[in-house]
Amino acid sequence: MRNIFKGISGIKVLAHESLKKHTSFRIGGKAKYFVKIYHHKALLEVMRVIKKNSLKYLIIGAGTNILFRDQGFDGAVLKLMGEFRKVKNCKNRFFCGAGVLIRDFIINATKSGYGGVEFLAGIPGSIGGAVKGNAGAFGHSISEVVKRVMIIDSKFVNRIIPRNKLIFEYRSCNIPEKAVITAVEINLKKSPKKMIERKIKQYLRIRWEKQPKGFSAGSFFKNPLPWSAGQLIEECGLKGTRIGGATVSRKHANFIINSDNAKAQDVIKLMNVIKKRVKKIKGIDLEPEVRII
């Protein structure tokens, strides 16, 4: 297969790459191109090649909250590395590349003595993905600390979106679908390290007590507020329900676990069984939080 990205420096291209290796679900077919991008100029060049060749593309962070179909992705899957995984801070202002893992950002902020994101502890994924999906827990969300978001828009123009132009809702924000988040400015508050560390431990303990182990994409359905998706699924008697290698967790019903080399189709069939049962018994439509690609 011809490498359409040949000649671009600052990238690594993998052809027909298995997406199982790049997602927390460990499910999915192959990507036509899997492109690791290490700096901003390379990202712009890759985007221009994609447009020139009318190629589908998708940006992934840590590969959480996503399910690739068994047929794979007939386009380019882009992963931001290198400079996109760096954090710079000036007092309470933290400039994070979109590829920075949430875990690494929390460690960085804690070492600097700044708090305000302890509630994100234990959430897998990257800062860019967290902003796009307005990640949160324990009554808080990342929208509370975001001040600016840097993007490349669909016309390959670098833009800065200030907080007053960002509209955050439950597990979403108004950043255009075709835009690529490149960096995020987060403002935190000075706080004693011991206090920050204590809060992180408390949140992690609660999270690990409730959440199951195993390969998953995290909470599968959005909570249809004021209800809990997990509670609705449990009350419908669906814990432990299995299709192929996909199982509804017995520990937390809003987790679908890849328990035995599940196929994407197993997960999708199980998702539909859950939706149909909850709708029939509770009269509530569940909406997936996990993106199905």
State pLDDT tens for residues 83-109.
Answer: 999 999 988 999 999 999 999 999 999
Look up 219 and say whether it is catalytic.
yes
Determine what percent of the chain is predicted with pLDDT higher than 70.
100
Is-contact 96 89, C-beta < 8 A? no
pTM (predicted TM-score)? 0.92
Mean pLDDT of 111-128: 94
Q: What is the pLDDT at residue 225?
A: 87
10: left (phi over 0), alpha (psi -120 to 50) or beta: left
Judged against a pLDDT cut of 90, whether residue 205 lies above it is answered with yes
Q: What is the pLDDT at residue 122?
A: 92
Q: What is the pLDDT at residue 276?
A: 98
Element (H, E) at 52: helix 40-52
Look up 205 and say whether it is catalytic.
no
Mean pLDDT of 128-147: 94
Q: What is the pLDDT at residue 155?
A: 87
3 state DSSP class of 156: coil
When pLDDT is cut at 50, 70 and 90, the band that residue 269 belongs to is: very high
Mean pLDDT of 193-206: 96
Question: How far apart (Å, rounded) are the C-alpha atoms in residues 247 and 150?
Answer: 39
Q: What is the pLDDT at residue 112?
A: 94
pLDDT tens digits, one per residue of 23-76: 999 999 999 999 999 999 999 999 999 999 999 999 998 899 999 999 999 999
Q: What is the pLDDT at residue 186?
A: 97
Look up 177 and say whether it is catalytic.
no
Question: How far apart (Å, rounded) are the C-alpha atoms in residues 179 and 159?
Answer: 10
Annotate 271-281 with b (16+ C-beta within 10 A) or e (fewer): beebbebbeee
Mean pLDDT of 112-138: 94
Mean pLDDT of 153-180: 92
Half-sphere exposure (Cβ direction) of 166: Cα atoms closer than 13 Å = 27
DSSP string, 170-210: TTEE-S-TT-EEEEEEEE-EE--HHHHHHHHHHHHHHHHHH
When pLDDT is cut at 50, 70 and 90, the band that residue 264 belongs to is: very high
Catalytic residue among 85, 171, 242, 291: 171
Q: What is the pLDDT at residue 1?
A: 72
